[in-house]
C-alpha cells in the first residue's frame, strides 16, 4: 500500500493550563485530543462535526499554523512537527489553506492581484501579471479585476480570489476550513464545483472541513466525524450515509433537513452531546468491530 500524502498520528492541541492574572489555575481545554487520520494523494477527506468540536484547530495544527502539543504530522514522508519556520518554508509550497471568511483573509489595503501574487514573491518565483491573470481565469474571474480592492467584490468572488492565491504555488494538499459557510446557497454549489474542477486539473488532495453534510457527500471520498476534540468514526462516504456506526454520526445525519414531507425519516436518536455521550463499552457492544475508529 502506498504511503499517504498526509499522515496525522495521535495529534494533540491544548489551550489554557497557566495561571490567571489573579493567581488561579486556568482549566485545560483539549481542543484536539489524540486524533489520527490520513489523506492520500488526490483524495478528499471530509472532517465534520458541530461547532466547537475542534475541526478548525485540527486543520491549523496539521499545517503547523499552530504548534502541536503532541503527536506526529508527516507530509510526503517528512515529519513536519517541531520544524522551525525556516525549515517549514519549502513544505508550505505544497500545503495551503483556504479560510472560512474570505474577507477576513484578504488584505483590504492590497489590490487583489498583488494578494494572489504574494506567495510567488515570498518564494522567489516569477510573479508576472500574465501568470496572475492565468490564476484568475482558472478560478473563473476576469483578469481585469486584478487592480481592484477586496471591498469591490461579492463573497463568492472573494473566495475565488483566496482559492487563486492558494493554488498559486501549485500545492498538492489544501486544507479548506468551511470555505462555503459564509456564502449564499447558490454560490456554495459553484465553489464546490470549482474545488472538484481544480482537483481534476491539478491533482489536489483536500482536507475539507465542514458541517454541511450534503456538500461533504458530494465532494468527499471519506469522512471523519469529530466530537469534543476526538475522531469517533472514520469511513467511506457510502458507509457513513448508508450505515453510520456511532450514535453521534447518526445524530448528525438525522439533523439534515429533508425538503419532502412525505419522505420517511430515520428515527432520531436521543443523543445529547453535552451530557449523554454513551460510554465506550455501550457503543462497542452495539457496533460490529472494524467499521469505525473510536478513540478512548
Q: Where are the domains of the chain?
A: 41-68+82-286
| Under 8 Å between Cβ of 81 and 245 | no
At the topology level, CATH places domain 41-68+82-286 in: Rossmann fold (3.40.50)
Q: Is the pLDDT of residue 34 over 80?
A: yes
Set of cell numbers at residue 194: 470549482
CA angle 192, 268, 237 (to 5 degrees): 35
Query: pTM of the full predicted structure?
Result: 0.84
Residues 208-267 have pLDDT tens digits of: 999 888 889 989 999 999 998 999 999 999 999 999 989 888 888 887 777 777 766 655
Q: Decide which of 164 and 292 is more confident.
A: 164
- Helix, strand or coil for residue 259? coil
- Helix, strand or coil for residue 256? coil
Give CA 172 to chain center in angstroms.
Answer: 15
- Helix, strand or coil for residue 175? strand
**What would the DSSP string read from start to end of 12-81?**
EEEEE-SB-TTSPBPPEEEEEEEEEEEE-TT-EEEEE--TTSSHHHHHHHHTTSS--SEEEEEETTEE-T
Contacts 24+ apart (CB under 8 A), 267-274: 271/247, 273/50, 273/227, 273/228, 273/248
Residues in the chain, total: 296
Residues 102-115 have pLDDT tens digits of: 999 999 999 999 99
Amino acid at each position: 500500500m502506498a504511503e499517504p500524502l498526509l499522515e496525522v498520528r495521535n495529534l494533540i492541541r491544548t489551550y489554557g493550563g497557566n495561571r490567571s492574572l489573579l493567581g488561579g489555575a486556568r482549566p485545560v481545554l483539549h481542543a484536539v485530543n489524540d486524533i489520527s487520520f490520513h489523506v492520500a494523494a488526490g483524495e478528499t477527506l471530509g472532517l465534520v462535526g458541530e461547532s466547537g468540536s475542534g475541526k478548525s484547530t485540527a486543520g491549523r495544527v496539521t499545517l503547523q499554523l499552530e504548534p502541536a502539543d503532541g503527536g506526529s504530522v508527516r507530509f510526503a514522508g517528512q515529519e513536519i512537527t517541531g520544524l522551525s519556520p525556516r525549515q517549514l518554508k519549502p513544505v508550505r509550497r505544497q500545503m495551503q489553506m483556504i479560510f472560512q471568511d474570505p474577507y477576513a483573509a484578504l488584505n483590504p489595503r492590497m489590490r487583489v492581484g498583488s494578494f494572489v501574487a504574494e506567495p510567488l514573491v515570498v518564494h522567489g518565483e516569477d510573479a508576472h501579471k500574465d501568470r496572475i491573470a492565468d490564476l484568475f481565469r482558472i478560478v473563473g474571474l476576469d483578469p481585469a479585476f486584478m487592480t481592484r480592492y477586496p471591498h469591490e467584490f461579492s463573497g463568492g468572488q472573494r473566495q475565488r480570489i483566496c482559492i487563486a492565491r492558494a493554488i498559486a504555488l501549485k500545492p498538492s494538499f489544501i486544507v479548506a476550513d468551511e470555505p462555503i459557510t459564509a456564502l449564499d446557497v447558490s454560490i456554495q454549489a459553484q465553489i464546490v464545483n470549482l474545488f472538484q474542477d481544480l482537483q481534476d486539473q491539478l491533482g489536489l488532495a483536500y482536507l475539507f472541513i465542514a458541517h454541511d453534510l450534503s456538500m461533504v457527500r458530494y465532494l468527499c471520498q471519506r469522512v471523519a466525524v469529530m466530537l469534543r476534540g476526538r475522531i469517533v468514526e472514520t469511513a467511506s462516504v457510502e458507509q457513513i450515509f448508508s450505515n453510520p456506526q456511532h450514535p453521534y454520526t447518526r445524530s448528525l445525519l438525522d439533523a439534515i433537513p429533508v425538503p419532502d414531507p412525505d419522505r420517511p425519516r430515520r428515527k432520531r436518536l436521543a443523543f445529547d452531546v453535552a451530557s449523554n455521550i454513551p460510554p465506550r463499552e455501550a457503543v462497542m457492544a452495539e457496533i460490529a468491530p472494524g467499521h469505525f475508529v473510536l478513540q478512548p
